[in-house]
Structure 1
């Protein structure tokens, strides 16, 4: 997945995260945010949701960290901000560099599969002020639910799916993919209601 052949923002992000993971034994949350650079919230949302799906999600407390990030990102988006601020204490949370490397390696094949399926289209569904607020609200509510009830086995995984797709939509300015994310959210709500209520 060399950037020589693919300049897609997600491809370059995975390359940078792989480099970070291989450069140190322990990786901090601040390291990951710094590696994201100015790529925007979309790729960060993809990384956060992947943390709940890939091996990094097995780290104790990771769902809570991801939940806090979702709330912070949602709050920043709600006010029209385009950069992320994180508390110093959250930035100091660390996890295994090896675990991150394994997670990045596992993510590369799905990313290569997704690449031809996304393109800028129906951008109003992700770029408009109204839809930006809608996505922000979705992130904050999802983060709150994961933070409060993330101890329920499988719940963080289920709730990470629409975040992953919405992150992909924001990264590629793809409104059609965003519609898939909204549909997934509805399906997740119905699934959770059926299972837990």
Structure 2
């Protein structure tokens, strides 16, 4: 069994190990490497995907929205292990493309990991984790509309990344950051649509 992840760099390293040993890396392979009890790392993975250049792939935002909703609803109902359908688990990416994304994310991940520490832990434990799951549901429901405004799904990805990291490192300040980022993005999207 893999050790629990404690940082963004560890998540990137684990995915990097997969890309070095396989021609294509599927979601199922990543989920297996991070463990089926790891809601935080899974949210981090979704956030990284949306925040990276992969968010420019047509339909990626809608695909990731369904992924977010599946994970968040399972968190809300208190499941200890998450379940994902095969249409998500079978999705894969070529090694070269994945490695470029991982290289692009490496330096920001190092900077982010330097400032994270456990604080405001009431925002991530017990009732706080249900609040995080509820916020993820709202983000997932709003993401299809974010496709209408360029780069707004990347901001949603940043919020999801912050929420996943908050669960992993028990940093409640990241929950507040995610609220600010998502609230600002949603306001921007609504103003541009109306």
Task: Give the match for residue 32 of structure 2.
Answer: 34
Task: Give the match for residue 139 of structure 2.
Answer: 142
TM-score normalised by structure 1 residue count: 0.86
Which deviates further from its counterpart, 142-151 or 81-90? 142-151
Task: Give the match for residue 173 of structure 1.
Answer: 170
Task: Give the match for residue 61 of structure 2.
Answer: 63
Task: Give the match for residue 98 of structure 2.
Answer: 100
User: By how many angstroms is 1:193 displaced?
Assistant: 2.1
TM-score normalised by structure 2 residue count: 0.87
Unaligned runs of 5+ in 1: 1-6
Task: Give the match for residue 192 of structure 2.
Answer: 195
User: Counterpart of 1:127 in 2: which secondary structure?
Assistant: coil
- Choose from 40, 43, 47 the match for 2:41: 43
Query: What is the CA deviation profile of residues 92-116 of structure 1, one whole-angstrom value per residue up to 9, with x for unaligned ones?
Result: 1222221111111111111111122
Root-mean-square deviation (CA, aligned residues, Å) is 2.0
- The separation in 2 between residues aligned to 1:151 and 1:187, in whole angstroms, is 16
Q: Do the aligned residues in 1 keep the contact of 2:67 with 2:88 (CA within 8 Å)?
A: no
- Choose from 60, 75, 80 the match for 2:73: 75
Unaligned runs of 5+ in 2: none
User: By how many angstroms is 1:125 displaced?
Assistant: 0.7
Residues 58, 21 of structure 1: alpha-carbon distance in 2 compared, 3 angstrom cutoff: farther
1:112 matches 2:110: yes
Residues 82, 43 of structure 1: alpha-carbon distance in 2 compared, 3 angstrom cutoff: same
- After the TM superposition, list the runs of 4 or more consecutive aligned residues in structure 1 that deviate by more than 6 angstroms: none
